[in-house]
Amino acid sequence: MKIKLLILTLSMILPHLVFAQDRKGAEATENVSVSAPERKPESAPAKKTNSIKQDTVNLETAYKREYAFLEAQKRELAERLRNYQASANREEQALSGKVNALERSSVERSARIDQLSAQLSESEHKEAAVIERSDALETTYLQAEGTLKNHGIEMPEAMKEAKDNDPVKVDFLFKQALSLLRNLGAIQTKPGHFFLANGKQVEGSLIHLGNIAAYGISDGGSGSLVPAGGGDFKVWKNAGAENATVLSNNEQPDVLQLYLFESRTSSIDESPEKTLIGIIDSGGPIGWIIVILGGLAVLLVLIRAHLLRTNSANTQQLTEQILGELASGDLDVAKKSCEDNSSAIGRVLHYTLRHLKDDRDHMEGIVYEAILQESNPLDRFGTAILVIASVAPLLGLLGTVTGMIETFDMITEFGTGDPKLLSDGISIALVTTQLGLIVAIPALMLGSLLSSWAKNIKRDMEHSALKIINVFLGGGLDIDELNVPTVDEAALALGNA
């Protein structure tokens, strides 16, 4: 920084020095020009020599003057630089002192801020704790007042409105609570009214077993009581009239039948008996659709089982019987045996016997055609049963989604305070899934079993027909011994058409 200041100072002084040198050279030239007329005229060489000497003297003099001037400027600049350095050092020291003082002040203020922040945070925590304790105390007051009010005990209005009297309130509440506990822990008999099972209100005596059970005695009826809402009681379905009578006589019954309840103000209703119709109704429209599909699946399974039963037979026995009749040359008898058998196997074998004289390829084609013709009754309703088995759980899933949507709608509208409001949506969600699985699992199993049964019948038909063809063409039977009619191929084709 000091070098930069020196260079700046020199750059400011040098133009002045050059200007001063030019001015001094001009003055010297004027002096020479003025004094020149006073001298005597000289010769040309002498004038030239004198002129050179005069220029040398003037240049040397100007150089010395300039050197002296620069030396003076140098000393002056050096002095200025020393003064500036000293001043800069003093200012730097003063500024350093100020910076250090400010840093110390900043550190002190930061520490003070941290201290005040800690105190503020602690004060906020204490205030929050005080507010929380105050809220808890107010909640305790409200709960205690509500509990005492349910039993006919109320805090005086003056005590409620008074401030800063927590010890008085606590003393009053504790005394009343202890007194109430003693009363509730005893068996008390009081006159009052209650409702019978038929809904009729009667006057009589109420025997309270603490605050968890009660009996009612009247001329119209007696028995164990349950809360009916609004502080009233009603006779429970398991009356226990004998126990009420025994307790009214200050005696102890051998078996005490009673209903334990939590609160006198909450009504207790009898749970309705669950029925099949009620369970299906709880699933909503989707539940009934699943049940209808289940009934349709049962009907189709019974029809398909009947069709398979009527088209099945003892294949091995029928085949051996026909082979024996063919071996004895009784083709008509063999055809008669096939006609008498009403199963699909009998019809396929009868169709095979009608074409024994044809070549093997044609006979096999006839057999496959007959099997395909008999496959329609065997495959009937098989696909429908499996479709129902696949659709039923999907409908159950649809019911689940519908029930959850209904449940969320109820939560949005009424909140979660009353679980009974959510029961309908939950029932739809669960019952539909249950019904869908109840329909799908048996339908899938029975459909698979019936499909396997149909495949076995088709396999037996093909095996029996090919067995007769192989035995016949293999030489096991003599075609000339059989009364096999000649088949007109054109007539056969026309008949098939």
Task: Please give the average per-residue pLDDT across 109-125, as a whole number.
Answer: 91
For residue 468, is pLDDT > 80? no
**Residues 113 and 160 grouped into a single domain:** no
For residue 44, is pLDDT > 50? yes
Whether residue 220 is contained in a domain is answered as: yes
Give the length of the chain: 497
Task: Please give the average per-residue pLDDT across 153-170, as a whole number.
Answer: 71
Q: Measured between alpha carbons, how far is residue 366 from residues 168, 363, 378, 466 in Å?
A: 109, 5, 19, 11
Share above pLDDT 70 across residues of the chain, in percent, rounded to a whole number: 69
**Residues 456 and 358 grouped into a single domain:** yes
Whether residue 475 is contained in a domain is answered as: yes
**pTM assigned to the model:** 0.49
More confident: 192 or 29: 192
Considering 217, 236, 270, which residue would you say is the last residue of a domain?
A: 270
Considering 270, 303, 335, which residue would you say is the last residue of a domain?
A: 270
Q: Give the side-chain half-sphere CA count within 13 A for 283.
A: 25
d(CA 454, CA 311): 9
**Residues 112 and 171 grouped into a single domain:** no
| Overall number of domains in the chain | 4
Q: Measured between alpha carbons, how far is residue 294 from residues 435, 440, 445, 461 in Å?
A: 9, 8, 13, 32
**Residues 409 and 458 grouped into a single domain:** yes
**Residues 309 and 422 grouped into a single domain:** yes
Whether residue 142 is contained in a domain is answered as: no
Phi, psi for 487 (deg, rounded to 5): -100, 125
Whether residue 145 is contained in a domain is answered as: no
Whether residue 364 is contained in a domain is answered as: yes
Residue range 275-319, pLDDT digits in tens: 888 888 888 889 999 999 999 999 999 999 988 887 776 667 777
d(CA 377, CA 304): 8
Token couple for 31: 């002096």
Residue range 471-481, pLDDT digits in tens: 767 654 444 44
**Residues 380 and 413 grouped into a single domain:** yes
**Residues 175 and 201 grouped into a single domain:** no
Residue range 75-109, pLDDT digits in tens: 999 999 999 999 999 999 999 989 999 999 899 99
Paired residues of 224 in beta bridges: 215
User: What is the predicted pLDDT for the residue at 490?
Assistant: 32
**Residues 327 and 437 grouped into a single domain:** yes
Identify which of 149, 218, 156 has the alpha carbon closest to the alpha carbon of residue 177: 149
Residue range 332-367, pLDDT digits in tens: 767 777 766 767 777 777 777 776 666 677 777 777
User: What is the predicted pLDDT for the residue at 391?
Assistant: 94
Q: Are 204 and 194 a contacting pair, CB within 8 Å? A: yes
**Residues 85 and 163 grouped into a single domain:** no
The three-state DSSP-derived secondary structure of 73-104 is HHHHHHHHHHHHHHHHHHHHHHHHHHHHHHHH
Q: Are 348 and 463 a contacting pair, CB within 8 Å? A: no
DSSP state of 250: T
**Residues 262 and 395 grouped into a single domain:** no
Share above pLDDT 90 across residues of the chain, in percent, rounded to a whole number: 16
Whether residue 405 is contained in a domain is answered as: yes
**Residues 262 and 297 grouped into a single domain:** no
Considering 270, 294, 328, which residue would you say is the last residue of a domain?
A: 270
Whether residue 400 is contained in a domain is answered as: yes
**Residues 266 and 348 grouped into a single domain:** no
Range of the domain at 75: 2-32+45-129
